[in-house]
Copies of this chain bind each other. A is one copy, B any other.
Amino acid sequence: MIARDALPPAEPVASRSSRVVVVGGGFAGIEVARELGRAGLPVLLLDRQNHHLFQPLLYQVATAALSATDVAEPIRKILRKYESVQVLLGEVAEIDTTGRTLALSDGSVLGYDYLVLATGATHSYFGHQEWAERAPGLKTIPDARRIRARALLAFERAERTVDPGEQRRLMTIAIVGGGPTGVELAGSLAELSRMTLARDFRSARPEMARIMLIEAGPRILPAFSEKASDYARRRLERLGVEVFIGKPVENIDDDTITFAGRTVPVGLVLWAAGVAASPLCGQLGAEMDRAGRVLVDETMRVKGTPNVFVLGDAAKFIGDDGQQLPGLAQVAKQQGQHLGRTLARHLREGAPLEPFEYHSRGNTAIVGRHSAVFEQGRFKLTGWIAWISWAIIHVYLLVGFQHRLLVSMQWLWRYLTYERGARVITDESFDVRLGQKPSRQDVSTPNTPR
């Protein structure tokens, strides 16, 4: 931990023109910029994307329930009303903490007085980088569109083949990792195949799709109570998902997955198992955990570089209870708000930075229609009420009012009809779409063979 007085003394007048640069427009970065903007202090927010992404609903884009634009909002629109905030599209290539500059990937260089890194997390394949292409993870809009295209294509290919074994393989989906994302993907894909797609095919039978959720640890949803985890498992099984626990994945090939010594032919593998902090923070040379998260003090400062802050999924923040804070949107958001406010007071009045305290608003995961788990301390909820609460909370947290309305309407529509509005394959190239294993006898039709 760094003593608070290690921070460079801030002189209110001089610091008015201090340059704060925030890297990353996720839940943490947006809040830092917003709070500084509210205080009228100049701040520059850099992101590689033009949009803020509402990641908690991204699995619904991957499973054809929502459109990508429903869960994304232009960063500059969110921060529009704060005149002192500038937003730039750009990728940071190098950080020079001595010279206090950032080099962008296009060669331009930016100076900073205070640097806030809120660069989030990416997937970790635990040393098996070759699995990345075979088992896509879910962090970005292109990720979600890729998963959607692959899942829908697997069914399209199953409809084209007359080989029952190949049809079974194509309609087998394995999800690796039993955390909230894995559970949400498994439940949503089971519903997609059993309810939405079931009526649309002639030769393939999507309702027979095999959905496997494979978890290496002793139970799914390890961040929840055992009761919630049991509940989620039972609900998933009722939806037809096969849940495997204590089964680490040993190999992923193009057409198979191997776990616990068995090799199963699969049409699609999704990765929801490991996360790693965005690699940029590694350049700080600071202490990191195995997942690349940078150890920060109670004000989110990096040891040894008191004008650099790391927060959100990229940071390792130890709470009052000695536990590391989890990688949740609400943690990132609270950290961003706190840092923005305390930094604004520091810059304007020279006030010392206040330590951050996390207030959990509860932990939630959705299992399927009518079933979710919600836990906050000793308050635990499962089933229909948890599901409704989840829906209300997530719609409420959506950034734009238009999105709230559109997403609510789509949910209501899906709830009443089992339809999904975004079943459009646009992202894989045509060759990929049609697969590499056709044969002259490969096409089935309802007609009498000629």
Contact = CB atoms under 8 A, between A and B. Distances in A.
Given A80-B199, A159-B88, A141 B424 contact: yes
Contact of A141 (B203, B426, B446): B426
A441 B106 CA distance: 11
Contacts of A44: 445-447
Interface in A420-448: 421-426, 430, 433-435, 438-443, 445-448
A77 B200 contact: yes
A19 B450 contact: yes
B423 A77 contact: yes
Q: Contact size class for A?
A: 35 or more
B86 A446 contact: yes
A108 to B, nearest CB: 5
Interface string A77-117: 10010011011111100000000000011111111000000
A107 B203 CA distance: 20
B80 A438 contact: no
Contacts of A153: 89
A141 B425 CA distance: 10
Given A91-B430, A448-B17, A409 B405 contact: yes
A396 interface: no
A447 B17 contact: yes
18 contacts: A17-B447, A42-B447, A50-B152, A50-B423, A51-B423, A67-B70, A74-B200, A77-B200, A88-B160, A90-B434, A91-B430, A104-B438, A107-B439, A110-B443, A110-B445, A141-B424, A402-B417, A406-B406
How many protomers of this protein does the assembly include? 2
A132 to B, nearest CB: 17
Contacts of A80: 199-200
B48 A106 contact: no
Contacts of A70: 67
Nearest to A435: B106
A434 B105 contact: yes
A308 to B, nearest CB: 17
A409 B69 CA distance: 15
A397 B421 CA distance: 17
Nearest to A77: B200
A348 interface: no
Interface in A25-71: 42, 44, 48-51, 67-70
A136 B203 CA distance: 38
A160 B76 contact: no
